[in-house]
Amino acid sequence: MGPLTGMRIIEIEGLGPAPFCGMMFADMGAEVISVSRKSDGADRSTQISERGKHSIALNLKSAEGVAALLKLCETADALIEGFRPGVAERLGIGPDDCMARNPKLVYGRMTGWGQTGPLANTAGHDMNYISLSGALHAIGRAGEKPVPPLNLVGDFGGGGMFLAFGVMCAIWEASRSGKGQVVDVSMVEGSAALMHMMYSFKAMGVWEDERESNMLDGAAHYYDTYETSDGKYVSIGSIEPQFYALLIELAGLDKETFAPQNDRSQWPVLKDKLAAVIKTKTRDEWCDIMEGTDVCFAPVLSMSEAPNHPQNRARESFIEVGGVVQHAPAPKFSRTAPAKPQAPSAAGSDTDAILKSAGYSDSELAALRASGALT
């Protein structure tokens, strides 16, 4: 039984960060009802974000479909959606509509730009949002263009996780006040929060606002990735003096040459020298020498390799659900450990069961289906 057992979350089906947020709730034991546009019976086993959820298919352009959703809101702790501003209101499922049925309901909404501001109604994607927070500008090599860090920083880190955090904050507050509220998540603002350390360094005068000019952005020779003789890579993060000393020892580096660890003028030369040394051995050979020591070292693993690393295997960090290898629920709990997630169900497969639990009779379900409200 996960720590959120007994919580009910309604998720309006979308793409990327909102389903990821719903998955986080489901992983922790919450009952997550994903509202799809239509039933299709398709195998969704590869859609990891849909694991552990219940699926209902409603036509939210019909009055009856909207009424069914509002009925579900009466017993929900929260509803999450990722529409553009105003879309939910036009459908009749905006915050005022839903909270009229359940004043304690938390209404979580997530967009890239936020619900207000001059860009609120324009389209965008992860890369655009982290462009506005300063995050994308900071990522990449000197003299080269910024490098998109997949869609981890905006969609999932600055979006889905902040939505989950915001919704949980509001549910906690509602448990005391008895009043719900709207949680407005902007991926620009979430990714800006993820940049807090860099903004702190900048304020202290120890961060240059150019790519690959700082300790943590690849400029320092002791904090970067290096190619090995077999064309693979290792990561080295020997920031602290004692860890740096161990790097010098285990890599067989010249102590005098590498002594000026934090002399920025020496970083390019020392990086070239370290790169030449790392290139003399294979990735596995460096693992034999450095892995498990305090060098702050790790092999750079592919997605195919990562699940089989001894550390990940020991902690069961990856699992197989429905024949698909994927991450295990995280974080881990000492007492209320969540169950292994169930494979994603087909869209709309739980429609009848969910609506019956909300009080709909068989005849009422038949009427909804005849009206086109159930898709």
Instruction: Write out the catalytic residue numbers.
Output: 125, 155
Under 8 Å between Cβ of 246 and 253: no
Q: Which residues 6+ apart lie within 8 Å of 233 measured at CB?
A: 225, 226, 227, 283, 299, 300
List the Cα angle 110/59/363 in 5-degree steps.
130
Q: Count the neighbouring beta carbons within 10 Å of the beta carbon of residue 254.
A: 10
Cα–Cα distance between 133 and 187 in angstroms, integer? 9
User: What's the Rg (C-alpha) of the chain?
Assistant: 25
Whole-angstrom distance, CA of residue 200 vs CA of residue 216: 13
241 preceded by cis ω (within 30°)?
no
Longest dimension (CA), the chain: 85
